[in-house]
Amino acid sequence: MGNYSIDKQDLNNCITQTNVPAAGTPYRGKVRDVYSLGDNKLGIVASDRISAFDHIMKQAIPYKGQILNSLAAFAFDKVDDLVNTHIIDVPHPNVTIAKRCEPIPIEVVIRACLTGHAARVYKSGKRTLCGVELPDGMVENQRFEEPILTPATKAEEGHDEDISEKEILDHEIVEPDLWEEIRTKAFQIFERGQEIANKQGLILVDTKYEFGLCNGELTLIDEVHTADSSRYFYSEGYEQRLKEGNPQKQLSKEFLREWLMEHDFQGKEGQTLPDLPDSLRIKVFERYSELFEKLTGKFFEPTPININDLNNKLQEIFTQYQ
């Protein structure tokens, strides 16, 4: 682990919302502010916001945006021989300049283990997930014989919904030839992600990819193999924990979800979003920076910046690319 310690100033100085009037009003996602830079480019700013159960937490995580953006840039670079990516430049730890693409409205989810949503479906007694038949007799966190593809619709609001590959084709959401290219690329990218994780003592458990079309070419967009989009287990002790039925030691947002559930929040109607204590915010930072360090082999060194300085820097950067 790196030796950077979060202090009170860091906790009070998170990047929660950017504002660059000359670049127009951005589209604000759960985590990113996306600015339109003319017809063919986007200025994507990774904030320190964090979400769970489709809700943005009231408190942000220091330097989460920088970790997320930098790790995504690292991961995009590792797969750009397999697929076109939307990356043009990463001129600042919080900023990616990307190609504007036409998004394909499907989240491409690859799973190597019976974990998370898949495990919950399995525990309910169902043996089919997104059209994929699951074998009897599996236990939570057990590996599948081969990774499986379990797509979801990309919802504008609310929860994404499971969908089978047959439904994607039957409803003509994606053309058959394009879908075949997507599924082939997704498995190749996942295999590359597994190779990188394995070398660093981790297991890439599951992840989601998003694709778009740029000048008619399939292009990987959004983010790749980050703690927001992926789940990792530690390789060491995995088999023993599985054998004994113990929870896996992991690097992901799952521990935040577990904390929220312990505090009676799962995003359901009538539930109140709890405040995140500073101790938890620091722990989240430590988890994210540990994953960065595990995967890249480098310590995470934050670039201290306040929102006014960042807004000014964004204006300078966007001017170069407009």
Query: Residue 90 pLDDT more than 90?
Result: yes
Cβ-based neighbour number of residue 155 at 10 Å? 12
Q: Which helix (H) or strand (E) holds 33?
A: strand 32-37
Predicted TM-score of the model (pTM): 0.92
Rounded CA gap, 121 and 153, in Å?
A: 17
pLDDT at 2: 57
pLDDT at 207: 97
Domain 103-251 is found in CATH 3.40.50.2300: no
Query: Residue 299 pLDDT more than 80?
Result: yes
Task: Name the residue among 134, 148, 34, 23 with its Cα closest to residue 94.
Answer: 34
Stretch 99-118: mean pLDDT, rounded? Answer: 96
Stretch 264-273: mean pLDDT, rounded? Answer: 94
What are 194's two structure tokens? 């597994």
Helix intervals (H) in 211-266? 238-244, 254-262
List the Cα angle 53/258/275 in 5-degree steps: 70
Q: Are 23 and 318 a contacting pair, CB within 8 Å? A: yes
pLDDT at 67: 96
What are 141's two structure tokens? 């966190």
Task: Name the residue among 229, 212, 191, 227 with its Cα closest to residue 86.
Answer: 212
- For 130-139, the pLDDT digits (tens) are 999 999 999 9
Rounded CA gap, 160 and 106, in Å?
A: 9
Question: If DSSP codes are grouped into helix, strand and coil, which group holds residue 155?
Answer: coil
Query: Residue 238 pLDDT more than 80?
Result: yes
- For 129-184, the pLDDT digits (tens) are 999 999 999 999 999 999 999 999 976 555 679 999 999 999 999 999 999 999 99
Rounded CA gap, 304 and 7, in Å?
A: 12
